[in-house]
Structure 1
Amino acid sequence: MEEQQSPPGTARRGPPRSPKGPPPLLRRWVRGPDGGDGPAGPPWRSTVALTLIVLAGSHVAGRSQAGRAPIDAFALVLLLAGCAALLIRRRHPVVAVFGASAAVMVYLGAGYPYGPVFLPVAVGCFSAVIAGYRRQAWCAVAMLWLGHLLVAHWLYRWLPPSGDSAAPWSQEVAVAAWAVAVVAVAELVRVRREQWAKERAGRAAAARRRAEQERLRIARELHDVLAHSISVINVQAGVGLALLDSDPEQARTALTTIKSASKEALGEVRQVLENLRTPGEAPRSPAPGLDRLPELVEQAASAGLTVETTTGGGRPALPPGTDLAAFRIVQEALTNVVRHSAARRARVAIGWEPGALVLCVDDDGPPSGGEAGGSGNGLIGMRERAAALGGSIEAGPLPSGGFRVTARLPLAGHSEETS
């Protein structure tokens, strides 16, 4: 028989299900809300130990209850059946609790003595509630209690042992209290397990968020470290190739610039990798900041871009994170000018507003219109850096045809030092 093919674009989830079996509503009732199986492997040891307790306790109880029917082969079969149902309580807890309840109800209806016969029902109810089948467990216990009520007060005339009388109502109160206690303890354990599961899930989610943030930070740092230097290398390589025959001296200068830029890029990449390998140790070299702005200007000049810098207002003492973010934002903005603009002149303005550092980088344009060769993540990385500090980035074209990037990084809570 040919296998039925899934429609195009439809992902198959797991093996195909057999068309036979209980309907969805019955499957949900028998196997729980998710219809899934519990852990495999029957609990042999605990079930055998419980069976021995039930058999021994029932024989002892039968000696002290002269008015009840003696333990015979049928009683042993019922006791063993109630305990054997617990072997499937891990995979099918609902079937286990209903099977144990049915066996106990037939046992009591046959007039056999009371005793530890209720233990299989308690264990089955506990397992079902812990597994999440609360209503099913309640119904199984309620079925047993109502069956006992019916047998002990109405059907006892026609059931063994002969000459039996109605049970006192105080006994029904005790049975009801026992049932409520079992369900209450199971519910308490279930709630506690759910709390533990939520705590574990919360810790796992927090760990995933930290790992994701760390991956983003690493990707952003490597992008910012490499993008500027690779852009300078790319421009100088083009210049060197174009002038290799006509102006060897100028080509030599371009190659020297490539060597210097690649060496600096390797040094910064090495610093990033060292910080990743030893996250608990202090970095061996300080992170770059705005004090290295002249280096950016020099590198941009080697790529044919003249950069004018202006600084206004009193300069506060910048925390390392803000200083690094400001440096990277200016670096990426200048890299974008080299990549995407035909301008040969750019301006970098650094200013301080009340509680904020303001960076402005613009160029005269126009856009180069060619393939820049970048990843397209430059502005995204700048915005992520600013957002991580509670700041913002505004970027867009100018009416004159150029492009401007403005960053505002908060400085609240930091003392000012006039330079």
Structure 2
Amino acid sequence: MDTSSAAARRVDLGLALGTVVVVALTVGAGVDAERAPSPVAYVFALGFGAVLLVRRRWPVAVLVVTVLGIFVYYALGFPAIGQALPAAAALYSAAELGRTRTALVLGGLLVGVAAYFRIGEGLPPTYLLGYELLTNVALVAAAVALGVSVRVRRASRADQERARVAALAEQAAEAGRRLQAQRVRIARDLHDSIGHTLAVVAVHAGVAAEAVGRDDEVAAAAIAHVRDATGSTLRELRSTVRLLRAAGDDDAGGTAGMGGVPALAESARAVGLDVDLRIDVADAAVDPAIGAGAYRIVQEALTNVLRHADARRVEVVAAVADGWLDLRVRDDGRGPDGAGGGGQGLRGMAERAGLLGGTLTSGRGDAGGFVVHARLPARLSS
């Protein structure tokens, strides 16, 4: 038996014992001193309490049995115990368990029948209306009102608990969505970073392979570039792992930002690509998340040029105007069949720009080659 069930049984037992004690004491008080109490009257008192043990399962039946028991008790001529007193707990139980109308009807019936017979016995109407009837009506009303109050409070607590559970479920769902978004962002960042590094490594490895045995100095320089590129990427991977282990979120997506774009340009220049870098963006001009997004877009665009475009020159231009970061990466390669063959890379850049509230377009430039154009809000909306 769980805790709530045990508590309910204790309440039922308390009501039953309380009813037995109160009715039994009333029976004893109503017996003339010269006459011994009738054992049957006390059996009725025990019965009025015993039926309350099943009040939760059959609240209406318990109330009906109690009212009929009171009628039988008085019909047998036992000492007066009050018409509403033995039924108080049964009336309360019916109202508590949602049978308010039934409790009021049967309570009114009990008081009305009792009043009728009391008048028939010759009880003065003034006494009946001024004391006994008023007392019985007040007792019935109080028992029903208490039952309704308990039921309303219980329903209110249940509603609050449901609201709390729903709020917790929503918080868990939101945490899951944020975790999924974090995973997607990390996957995209790792794809951009490692893809760029592998493109640089592939070019330098090719140069080294061709130079070995013919120009060892060139081969050594190419291998050094491979070492530098892989070392930088390994440092970024370690930084990402530290970020994942740290508590809290990092909306900026790591330490990459517009300040890291010159290093990307140097990496591309090291493999023979002429990079014209024109960055007119102050450190505080854009939010960290915007700067990180712009960095990744430049990184992916340069990676596509190295992989697909067969270009010799790339122009990277970035500036902030009217609350927007305008970013262009233009090459002189094969155009849509070259850098445009990036496929997943172009889609990833467009998705990243969209998540930040901006746009990204790509296509053949007016003077040939391929252009990636991103417009990102300088500040994230609150």
Taking structure 2 as the reference length, what is the TM-score of the superposition? 0.69
Give the Cα–Cα distance (whole angstroms) in 2 for the partners of residues 155 and 281 of structure 1.
74
Match for 2:315 among 341, 347, 350? 347
Specify whether residues 154 and 323 from structure 1 end up closer, same or farther in structure 2 by C-alpha distance, changes over 3 A only.
same
Residue in 2 aligned with 1:152? 111
Name the residue aligned to 2:234.
Answer: 266
Partner of 2:295: 327
Structure 2 vs 1, CA of residues 314 and 224 (structure 1 numbering), >3 Å: closer, same or farther? closer
> Which residue is 1:84 aligned to?
54
Give the aligned partner of residue 143 of structure 1. Answer: 102
User: Is the CA contact (8 Å cut-off) linking 1:332 and 1:382 kept in structure 2?
Assistant: no
SS at match of 2:140: helix
Q: Matched residues, percent identical?
A: 21
Structure 1 match to 2:351: 380
1:402 maps to 2:373? no
Q: 1:412 to 1:322 in 2, by over 3 A?
A: closer
Consecutive unaligned residues of structure 1, counting only runs of 5 or more, are 1-37, 87-94, 129-136, 414-419
Q: Tell me if structure 2 keeps the 8 A contact 1:237–1:255.
A: no
**Alpha-carbon distance in structure 1 between the residues aligned to 2:230 and 2:364:** 33
For residues 351 and 146 of structure 1, do their structure 2 counterparts lie closer, same or farther at Cα, with a shift above 3 Å needed?
same
* Alpha-carbon distance in structure 1 between the residues aligned to 2:4 and 2:311: 70
Select which of 247, 272, 279 maps to 2:247: 279
Q: Distance in 1 between matches of 2:303 and 2:175?
A: 29
Give the counterpart letter for 2:202 in structure 1: A
Shift of 1:58: 2.6
Matching of residues 203-352 of structure 1 within 5 Å: 203-206=168-171, 208-210=173-175, 212-234=177-199, 236-237=201-202, 240=205, 246-248=210-212, 255-279=223-247, 287-302=255-270, 306-312=274-280, 317-338=285-306, 343=311, 345-352=313-320
Match for 2:359 among 372, 388, 393? 393
Shift of residue 330, structure 1, vs aligned partner: 2.7
Q: Distance in 1 between matches of 2:283 and 2:374?
A: 18
Q: How far apart in 2 are the matches of 1:193 and 1:101? A: 26
**Residues paired across the two proteins, number:** 345
Q: What amino acid is aligned across from residue 137 of structure 2 in structure 1? A: E
- Higher Cα Rg, which structure: 2
> Partners in 1 of 2:346 and 2:318 — Cα distance?
27
Is 1:119 aligned to residue 98 of structure 2? Answer: no
Counterpart in the other structure of 2:12: 47
Q: Verify the 8 A CA contact 2:20 2:45 in the aligned structure 1.
A: no
The answer to whether 1:191 aligns with 2:161 is no
State whether residues 15 and 49 of structure 2, in contact with CA within 8 Å, keep that contact through their aligned partners in structure 1.
Answer: no
Give the C-alpha shift of residue 411 in structure 1: 4.5
Quote the RMSD (CA, aligned, Å): 4.5
- Measured after TM superposition, the shift of residue 350 of structure 1 is 1.0
Change (3 A) 1:374 1:65: farther
For 1:270 and 1:381, the matched residues in 2 are separated by 23
The answer to whether the 8 A contact 1:105-1:144 is kept is no
- Write 1 or 2 for the structure with the bigger share of helix: 2
The answer (yes or no) to whether the contact 1:232–1:300 under 8 Å persists in 2 is: no
Residue pair 1:308, 1:347 contacting (<8 A) in 2 also: yes
CA displacement 1:110-136 (0-9 Å, x = unmatched):
44744365335535654x5xxxxxxxx
Which deviates more from structure 2 when the two are superposed, residues 287-296 or residues 373-382?
Answer: 373-382
The answer to whether the 8 A contact 1:108-1:148 is kept is no
Partners of 2:374 and 2:114 lie apart in 1 by 88
The whole-number CA distance in structure 1 between the counterparts of 2:248 and 2:283 is 31
Partner in structure 1 of residue 337 of structure 2: 367
Equivalent of 2:324 in 353, 356, 362 = 356
